[in-house]
């Protein structure tokens, strides 16, 4: 790694990004402690930490085997780790020029080894690093590096979720307070006050400020809107001052001419200061406005503006004098004569009412838009008495639709102070109460299905537990997800997947009572909460089962997804609760375990939580720990199953992974590969398999004893989608010396459709080396002819499920025949897997199958016993 001379840790933008996570100096959190422990275990290190790099220190959110909580930035290794997006490794700090005199190296800690993977935010800012440490010099293997990087990604995801949760909490806590804060700002000051958000998006005004200017806050909502009212000669200077204050916290003290609602110009002084939180970030700009005397020499302030032009404009062009700045405003601005006839109509009014500028001016009577028609007289009378009004007015638009418009009406007088025109700003903005409702909906409802979301479910579940305890009545929590939803999403696209989720939500609602809750947790996971199911256990079970069976039946029918029709099944897990119930997270875990058992039992099934399942969950947790360390303890082994030609000759072998578990014995892939996929171990494990299989094939080739024509290696989707996959394979071939023409990579149909273009590029790169490709389990996925033609495949492997029924199922026989014919047409070799009987071989040979694999020809065996 090349270290940049620029002190990245002092970068203000990066520090601002770190501050946005509100993580510094917070108490320990279990999720981060766990990730640090996993990092230490995966990398076999005695120490690990989650480090954040502040301006003058590095601070540890979580540590393992390390008593230090923070260090001075001068001693920080992590300040170098954040200079790059790749993992920073120091194998021996005592000889490294950057760290040879570092107090962490020369002091009591006696640090020698350091590896830090930067935590990069979605915006690209390195906040800190997930680090592993040792007091002995050592190396970090490629598998350990990959493990550390995967855990760093998971840590960053946890940080991002935490930030979003904090932001949401902040929003909910302050939404009702927001409108009260402004009126309390510097209330003792004689000036009129305002506040601007740091992104310059929103100005908020006290009532004194809007009264001074005679305008509603809606017309002065941001820098650009206010700029339209500033005299043209002063606009740029005024805008520059406010942009600088928002960006850098520069104080503001400027005077400018402002066009007010009475049609005259006023000289306004703007004074503002910025507030910083955290360092480097402007959190708000606030200040005051005051009307100050006009300069004696107006020409020097604003060329072309005379004193008479400011205070005493002629009466006739009054409408023209007030309207130019309003033309492009999104807010409706209308000017009428005293009888309500329109003399000016801006684009905002056009959008609100429907009439164009040309249609409205001189043709539309504003008085006729008011409902009921005679109410305009009362409005005009009140305006003549008060000079200014705020009034909610019911009106009609061009299409006849009803409108409710909040209007600010100002009487415009001529130079003799006689009423001449009515200046009306109309806003159809959402009322605060409606805005609150929208914020509430965003916070507590899923935007796709309109069902309650996780946050809302937690609230309702807490309430349900209290009710259950108070009434001594049962409730039930059901968790369900859709079978094979991921495959549908991958093949038909996310739009169709979203449509399915919406239709599922609608059907679920029809299966429950109005007092029950249907919520969406996310993805394809839904929850049904049933309350007051009676006092007897059997009664509660019966009622829950009735609802669950209704749900299973409701989801069986086909779903119309645009031009596609799809069937959908689900698995449901149910747990009951009553008094002294477990906490919410325990209930969700219980329902999840029950759902998992339902899935294991087949589709469209229901299972109630069994306490014995807790034992299974614990066993799974133990298996995860064992799986993470199995590579380091050399517990994995490759078995090889022969692949034979039509004449019975050995033509290849498939490498199959086995786990020699220390207590459970020899485990097949289906017992641990899904877990490896889930926890991210599959990538380094797949690299290990590739290395061992190629090395063994090369050894057999060199021995020259009936050499193989191919070594087949299965590749997981997650492994293949790694950006460096092709480079990894090429490196393995170079290290082992295996002829690339002998390596055959087996890919699944679902893998190929994830990223067709990216897949084609990787396959082409490996094809140029000589590597071959087989499409595994053909017939069980969603391959299309165009996909088969587009990708450089060499072989189709017929899934064993079709072979097992080929003797007795005419449909499977015809399907297998079609697959073989398709392979021949596309000039691909065809291999049948799972062949166990001579009768199956005869049928396949008759159809023209090229190669065979199965127990009929040999079971998988270790390399030492493989008969080649």
Query: What's the pLDDT at 56?
Result: 86
Does residue 644 or residue 174 have the better pLDDT? 644
Do 607 and 595 touch, CB atoms closer than 8 A? yes
Segment 223-236, tens digit of pLDDT: 877 887 887 767 77
**Averaged pLDDT, 58-82:** 91
- pLDDT for residue 634: 86
Q: Is the pLDDT of residue 446 over 80?
A: yes
Q: Angle at CA 668, nearest 5°, toward 666 and 674? A: 130
Domains (ranges, CATH) in the chain?
8-172 (3.30.450.40), 182-312 (3.30.450.20), 315-443 (3.30.450.20), 445-610 (3.30.70.270), 624-862 (3.20.20.450)
pLDDT reported for residue 127: 93
- Rounded distance, CA 779 to CA 3, Å? 52
Looking at 704-837, list the stretches that DSSP marks H as alpha helix, in order from N- to C-terminal side: 717-720, 725-736, 749-752, 756-769, 785-790, 800-804, 810-825
* Residue 424 neighbours by CB under 8 Å, 6+ apart: 332, 333, 334, 335, 336, 366, 407, 408, 409, 410
Q: Is the pLDDT of residue 189 over 70?
A: no
Q: Give the whole-number percent of the chain exceeding pLDDT 70.
A: 82
Beta bridge partners of 255: 269
pLDDT digits (tens, 9 = 90+) for 692-744: 999 999 999 888 765 788 999 999 988 898 888 999 999 999 999 999 999 99
Q: Please tell me the distance from the alpha carbon of residue 353 to that of residue 407, in angstroms, as a whole number.
A: 13
Of 602, 500, 483, 641, the C-alpha closest to 560 is: 500
Distances (CA, A) of 249 to 6, 91, 197, 235, 413: 24, 44, 12, 20, 41
Q: How confident is the model at residue 200 (pLDDT cuts 50, 70, 90)?
A: low
Model pLDDT for residues 108-162, shown as the tens digit of each residue: 889 999 999 999 888 788 999 999 999 999 999 888 888 898 899 889 888 887 8
Distances (CA, A) of 252 to 246, 283, 355, 457: 10, 16, 41, 47
Q: Is 802 exposed, middle or buried (0-12, 13-18, 19+ CB in 10 A)?
A: buried
Distance CA 585, CA 577 (A): 13
The pLDDT value recorded for residue 479 is 94
Task: State the pLDDT at residue 828.
Answer: 92
Could you tell me which of 814, 773, 777 has the C-alpha nearest to residue 795?
A: 773
pLDDT tens per residue, range 295-309: 544 433 333 343 433
Distance CA 541, CA 534 (A): 10
Given a contact cutoff of 8 angstroms between Cβ atoms, the answer to whether 448 and 426 are in contact is no
Instruction: Pick 691 or 182 by higher pLDDT.
Output: 691
What pLDDT, on a 0 to 100 scale, did the predictor assign at position 263? 60
What tens digit of pLDDT does each residue of 604-662 get?
888 888 776 556 556 776 788 888 888 778 899 999 999 999 988 899 999 999 999 98
pLDDT of residue 86: 84
- pLDDT average, residue stretch 237-260: 77
Q: What is the pTM of this model?
A: 0.41
Nearest Cα neighbor of 227 from 254, 249, 190, 248 is 254
Examine residue 372 and say whether the peptide bond preceding it is cis (omega within 30 degrees of 0): yes
Residue 418 burial by Cβ neighbours in a 10 Å radius (0-12, 13-18, 19+): exposed
DSSP H helices, 641-777, are 673-679, 682-703, 717-720, 725-736, 749-752, 756-769
Q: Which residue has the higher pLDDT, 585 or 96?
A: 96
Between 307-321, 543-557, 569-583, the lowest mean confidence (pLDDT) is in 307-321
Question: What pLDDT was estimated at residue 171?
Answer: 47
Give percent of the chain with pLDDT exceeding 90.
27
Top-confidence residue, 373 or 544: 544
Q: Are 528 and 478 in contact (CB under 8 A)?
A: yes
CB-based contact 154:132 (threshold 8 Å): no
How confident is the model over 795-810, as a mean pLDDT?
87
* Most confident residue range from 96-110, 276-290, 326-340, 696-710: 96-110
Least confident range of 408-417, 755-764, 787-796: 408-417
Q: In the prediction, which pLDDT does 143 show?
A: 82
Distance from C-alpha of 340 to C-alpha of 374, rounded to nearest angstrom: 12
Cα separation of 599 and 570, whole Å?
Answer: 8
Residue of 577, 672, 590, 596 whose CA lies nearest to 630: 672
Residue 582's pLDDT band, with cuts at 50, 70 and 90, is low
Mean pLDDT along residues 596-609:
81
- pLDDT band at 435; cut points 50, 70, 90: very low
Which residues touch 749 (CB under 8 Å, ≥6 apart)? 775, 776, 777, 778, 780, 781, 782, 783
Q: What is the rounded average pLDDT of the residues 254-263?
A: 75
Q: Report the mean per-residue pLDDT for the chain.
A: 80
pLDDT digits (tens, 9 = 90+) for 71-83: 988 889 998 898 8
So what's the pLDDT on residue 318?
42
**What is the 8-class DSSP label of residue 695?**
H
Contact 82, 53 (CB under 8 A): yes
Q: What is the mean pLDDT of residues 591-614?
A: 78
Report the pLDDT value the prediction gives residue 48, as an integer from 0 to 100: 96
Whole-number pLDDT of residue 176: 39
Predicted confidence at residue 7, as pLDDT, reads: 54
**Confidence check: pLDDT of 391 > 90:** no
């Amino acid at each position: 790694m090349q270290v940049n001379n620029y002190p990245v840790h002092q970068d203000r933008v990066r520090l601002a990004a770190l501050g946005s996570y509100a993580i510094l100096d917070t108490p320990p959190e279990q999720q981060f402690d766990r990730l640090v422990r996993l990092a230490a275990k995966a990398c076999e290190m005695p120490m690990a930490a989650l480090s954040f790099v502040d301006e003058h220190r590095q601070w540890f959110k979580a540590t393992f085997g390390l008593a230090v909580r923070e260090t001075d930035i001068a001693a920080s290794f992590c300040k170098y780790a954040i200079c790059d997006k790749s993992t920073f490794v120091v194998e021996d700090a005592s000889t490294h020029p950057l760290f040879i005199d570092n107090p962490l190296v020369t002091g009591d800690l006696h640090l020698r080894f350091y590896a830090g993977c930067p935590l990069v935010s979605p915006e690209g800012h390195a906040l800190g690093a997930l680090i592993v440490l040792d007091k002995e010099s050592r190396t970090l293997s490629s598998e350990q590096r990959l493990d550390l990087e995967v855990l760093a990604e998971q840590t960053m995801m946890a940080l991002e979720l935490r930030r979003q949760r904090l932001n949401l909490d902040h929003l909910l806590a302050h939404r009702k307070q927001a409108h009260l804060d402004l009126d309390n700002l510097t209330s003792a000051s004689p000036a009129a006050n305002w506040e601007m958000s740091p992104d310059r998006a929103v100005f908020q005004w006290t009532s004194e400020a809007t009264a001074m200017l005679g305008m509603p806050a809606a017309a002065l909502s941001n820098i650009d809107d206010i700029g339209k009212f500033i005299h043209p000669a002063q606009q740029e200077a005024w805008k520059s001052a406010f942009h600088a204050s928002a960006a850098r916290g520069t104080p503001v003290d400027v005077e400018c001419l402002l066009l007010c609602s009475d049609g005259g110009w006023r000289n306004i002084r703007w004074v503002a200061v910025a507030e910083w939180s955290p360092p480097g970030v402007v959190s708000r700009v606030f200040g005051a406005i005051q009307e100050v005397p006009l300069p004696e020499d107006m020409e020097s302030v604003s060329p072309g503006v005379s004193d008479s032009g400011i205070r005493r404009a002629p009466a006739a062009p009054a409408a023209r004098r007030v309207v130019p700045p309003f033309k492009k405003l999104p807010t409706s601005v209308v000017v009428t004569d005293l009888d309500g006839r329109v003399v000016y109509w801006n684009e905002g009014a056009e959008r609100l009412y429907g009439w164009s500028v040309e249609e409205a001016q001189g043709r539309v009577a504003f008085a006729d838009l008011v409902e009921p028609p005679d109410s305009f007289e009362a409005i005009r009378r009140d305006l003549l008495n008060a000079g200014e009004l705020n009034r909610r007015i019911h009106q009609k638009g061009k299409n006849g639709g009803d409108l409710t418009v909040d209007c600010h009406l100002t009487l415009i007088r001529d130079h003799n102070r006689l009423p001449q025109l009515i200046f009306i700003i109309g806003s159809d903005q959402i009322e605060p109460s409606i805005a609150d409702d929208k914020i509430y909906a965003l916070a507590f409802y899923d935007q796709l299905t309109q069902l309650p979301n996780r946050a809302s479910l937690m609230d309702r579940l807490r309430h349900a537990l209290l009710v259950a305890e108070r009434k001594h009545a049962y409730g039930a929590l059901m968790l369900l997800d859709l079978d094979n939803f991921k495959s549908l999403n991958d093949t038909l696209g996310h739009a169709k997947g979203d449509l399915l989720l919406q239709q599922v939500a609608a059907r679920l609602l029809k299966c429950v009572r109005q007092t029950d809750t249907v919520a969406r947790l996310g993805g394809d996971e839904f929850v049904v909460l049933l309350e007051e199911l009676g006092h007897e256990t059997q009664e509660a079970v019966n009622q829950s089962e009735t609802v669950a069976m209704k749900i299973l039946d409701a989801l069986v029918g086909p779903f119309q997804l645009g031009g596609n029709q799809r069937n959908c099944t689900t698995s449901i897990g149910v747990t009951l609760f009553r008094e002294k119930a477990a906490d919410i997270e325990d209930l969700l875990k219980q329902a999840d375990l029950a759902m998992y058992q339902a899935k294991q039992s087949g589709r469209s099934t229901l299972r109630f939580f069994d306490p014995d399942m807790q034992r299974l969950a614990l066993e799974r947790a133990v298996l995860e720990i064992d799986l993470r360390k199995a590579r380091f303890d050399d517990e994995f082994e490759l078995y090889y199953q022969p692949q034979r030609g039509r004449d019975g000759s050995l033509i290849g072998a498939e490498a199959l992974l086995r786990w020699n578990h220390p207590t459970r014995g020899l485990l097949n892939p289906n017992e641990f590969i899904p877990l490896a996929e889930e926890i991210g171990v599959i990538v380094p494990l797949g690299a290990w398999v590739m290395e061992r299989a190629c090395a063994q094939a090369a050894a057999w080739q060199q021995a020259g004893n009936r050499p193989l024509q191919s070594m087949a290696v299965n590749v997981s989707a997650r492994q293949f989608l790694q950006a460096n996959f092709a480079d990894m394979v090429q490196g393995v071939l170079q290290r082992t010396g295996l002829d690339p023409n002998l390596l055959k990579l087996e890919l699944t149909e679902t893998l190929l459709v994830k990223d067709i273009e990216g897949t084609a590029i990787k396959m082409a790169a490996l094809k140029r080396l000589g590597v071959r490709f087989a499409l595994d389990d053909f017939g069980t996925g969603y391959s299309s002819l165009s996909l088969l033609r587009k990708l450089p495949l060499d072989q189709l492997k017929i899934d064993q499920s079709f072979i097992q029924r080929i003797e007795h199922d005419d449909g499977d026989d015809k399907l297998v025949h079609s697959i073989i014919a398709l392979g021949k047409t596309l000039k691909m070799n065809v291999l049948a897997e799972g062949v166990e009987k001579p009768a199956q071989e005869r049928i396949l040979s008759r159809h023209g199958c090229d190669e065979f694999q199965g127990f009929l020809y040999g079971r998988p065996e270790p390399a030492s016993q493989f008969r080649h």
